[in-house]
Amino acid sequence: MSTTYWCELAWLGEGQGGVTAGVAVRVEGTHITGVEADTSPAAGWVRLPGLTVPGFANTHSHAFHRALRGRTHGDGGTFWTWRDQMYALAERLDPDLYLDLATATFAEMALAGVSTVGEFHYVHHTPDGRPYAEPNTMGEALREAAAVAGVRLTLLDACYLSGGIGEHAAGVQRRFADVDVDAWVERVDALPSTATCQIGAAVHSVRAVDPTSAAAVAAWATTTDAPLHVHVSEQRAENDACQAAYGCSPTALLAAHGVLGPRTSAVHCTHLTPADVALLADTGTSVSICPTTERDLADGVGPTGALRGAGVPLHVGTDSNAVIDPLEEIRALELDERLTSGRRGTHSPAELLTMATAAGQASLGWDDSGRIEAGALADLTTITLGSVRLAGADQADALGSVVFAATASDVQHVVIGGEVVVRDGAHLRLDVARALDRSIRAAWS
Instruction: For residue 145, give Cα distances in angstroms to 89, 98, 138, 353, 419.
Output: 19, 9, 11, 27, 17
Catalytic residue among 100, 296, 299, 319: 319
| Cα dihedral 60, 64, 67, 68 sign | negative
User: What are the sequence ranges of the domains in the chain?
Assistant: 2-53+380-416, 56-363
Domain spanning 56-363: CATH 1.10.443.10? no
Catalytic residue among 124, 268, 315, 427: 268
Alpha carbons 134 and 355: distance in angstroms, whole number: 37
Alpha carbons 13 and 17: distance in angstroms, whole number: 8
| Active site annotation includes 319 | yes
Task: Say what the pLDDT of residue 74 is.
Answer: 73
Alpha carbons 112 and 90: distance in angstroms, whole number: 25
Task: Say what the pLDDT of residue 15 is.
Answer: 76
Alpha carbons 114 and 122: distance in angstroms, whole number: 22
Q: Are strands 2-11 and 19-28 parallel, antiparallel or unpaired?
A: antiparallel
Q: Are 120 and 320 in contact (CB under 8 A)?
A: no
Nearest Cα neighbor of 205 from 142, 149, 256, 163 is 163
Label each residue of the chain as H, E or C. CEEEEEEEEEECCCCCCCEEEEEEEEEECCEEEEEECCCCCCCCCEEEEEEEEECEEEEEECHHHHHHCCCCCCCCCCHHHHHHHHHHHHHHCCHHHHHHHHHHHHHHHHHCCEEEEEEEECCCCCCCCCCCCCCCHHHHHHHHHHHHHCCEEEEEEEECCCCECCECCCCCHHHHCCCCHHHHHHHHHCCCCCCCEEEEEEECCCCCCCHHHHHHHHHHHHHHCCCEEEEECCCHHHHHHHHHHHCCCHHHHHHHCCCCCCCEEEEECCCCCHHHHHHHHHHCCEEEECHHHHHHCCCCCCCHHHHHHHCCCEEECCECCCCCCHHHHHHHHHHHHHHHHCCCCCCCHHHHHHHHHHHHHHHCCCCCCCCCCCCCECCEEEECCCCCCCCCCCHHHHHHHHHHHCCHHHEEEEEECCEEEEECCEECCCCHHHHHHHHHHHHHC
Alpha carbons 199 and 153: distance in angstroms, whole number: 8
| Active site annotation includes 367 | no
Q: Which CATH number fits domain 2-53+380-416: 2.30.40.10, 3.40.190.10, 2.30.110.10, 3.40.50.720?
A: 2.30.40.10
Task: Say what the pLDDT of residue 14 is.
Answer: 83
Vertex 111 angle, CA 105 and 115, to 5°: 85
pLDDT (tens place) for every residue of the chain, 445 residues total: 799 999 999 999 887 778 999 999 999 999 999 999 999 999 999 999 999 999 999 999 999 999 999 998 877 889 999 999 999 999 999 999 999 999 999 999 999 999 999 999 999 999 999 999 999 999 999 999 999 999 999 999 999 999 999 999 999 999 999 999 999 999 999 999 999 999 999 999 999 999 999 999 999 999 999 999 999 999 999 999 999 999 999 999 999 999 999 999 999 999 999 999 999 999 999 999 999 999 999 999 999 999 999 999 999 999 999 999 999 999 999 999 999 999 999 999 999 999 999 999 999 999 999 999 999 999 999 999 999 999 999 899 999 999 999 999 999 999 999 999 999 999 999 999 999 999 999 999 9
